Amino acid sequence: MKPTDKTSKISLGKPKDYPGLLTEIKERIRSAQYEALKAVNKELVGLYWDIGRMIVERQDAEGWGKAVVEQLAADLRTEFPGVGGFSASNLWRMKAFFEAYTGLEKLAPLVREIGWSHNLAILERCKDPLEREFYLRMTRKFGWSKNVLIHQIDNQSYEKSLLGQTNFDQALTPELRAQAKLAVKDEYTFDFLELGEEHSERELERALIARIEDFLRAMGGMFAFMGSQYRLEVEGKEFFIDLLLFHRRLRCLVAIELKVGEFLPEFVGKMQFYLTALDRQVRQEDENPSIGIILCKEKSRTIVEYALHDARKPIGVATYEITKTLPKALKGQLPSPKDIAHLLEDL
């Protein structure tokens, strides 16, 4: 039988738009898989919440003790031999999980948005509800793995994010302020670097570039690398920004200047010049104003405050550590609970 025109066309090869079709279908499949995984996770956390609630209610009403929970764990494992998670210790965690978040209208829905192992890390390592809210929201937003989450908690990301020194209140629009504040920490830990305490700015820059993935993760996970020694030309003269990043959620360029010594006020003037040049020569029309981060080995908070007071460009000043030190006592320096709650609302 002579093939029809239609079958001949099909046999000649793939349609011109086939690659686009394949890409679109693959993205849709991945999206469906991700949504299915989220739905399963939400149901699992909801199950553990309900088990914790039932244990609490029975204990309150009937005075259940340790022996009853031990028996319950044994019976559940007998009834559901192929299902993990029903050990006595995990049942006690479910109880503690429910008790920690019940009655907290903002947090109870958030716990269903992240994995059970993530929830346990936050539950067991953070005691303050606002601190828990911070890590719940950050894990949901940035998709942190359990190990990254624990690393962030151990490095005091909550405190360092809330204590960041910036002029964003006067230099950015209200829509960008909260996100930008949380994007610039007060201190960064680069414990993945193999550098001695004495090192030059160029050595620091090269070491960060050599471990770029670790560096971007330490910066917060929403940055893309644009270049090192990024060249700008103004009136025939060359200028070089140490590191240029792009923040995907803020949709803005982020210039980073590395300083191996103490912060000096004149650093702000230089950064303002870089940001003006970036905004006029590099920034795209649909992007937000560029932000600067001056990364120093040391800083005086008062000198930084004075230096940023009248600066018109959005700039943050932070310090860095290349070895993990003992946790600093930062709790007493945090903003008021009301201010923290207001900041977290935009996460």
Last residue of some domain: 155, 174, 200? 155
Residues 181 and 144 in one domain: no
Last residue of some domain: 114, 129, 155? 155
Residues 179-234: pLDDT tens digits? 888 889 999 989 889 887 789 999 999 999 999 999 998 888 789 999 999 999 99
Residues 38 and 96 in one domain: yes
Residues 65 and 113 in one domain: yes
Region 224-253 average pLDDT: 95
Q: Is there a domain that residue 10 lies in? A: no
Residues 132 and 68 in one domain: yes
Say what percent of the chain tops pLDDT 90: 49
Last residue of some domain: 108, 128, 155? 155
Cβ atoms of residues 241 and 232 within 8 Å? yes
Per DSSP, the residues of 173-192 read -HHHHHHHHHHS-SEEE-TT
Q: Show the domain range for 108.
A: 23-155
Residues 138 and 101 in one domain: yes
Distance CA 127, CA 158 (A): 12
The tokens of 130 are what?
């606002």
Cβ atoms of residues 163 and 186 within 8 Å? yes
Lowest mean pLDDT across 43-47, 193-197, 269-273, 328-332 = 328-332
Question: Burial level of 290, CB count in 10 A (0-12/13-18/19+)?
Answer: buried
Report DSSP state, residue 277.
Answer: H
Residues 258 and 133 in one domain: no
Residue 321 CB: number of other CB atoms within 10 A?
14
The 3-state DSSP class for residue 316 equals strand
Domain count, the chain: 2
Q: Is there a domain that residue 14 lies in? A: no
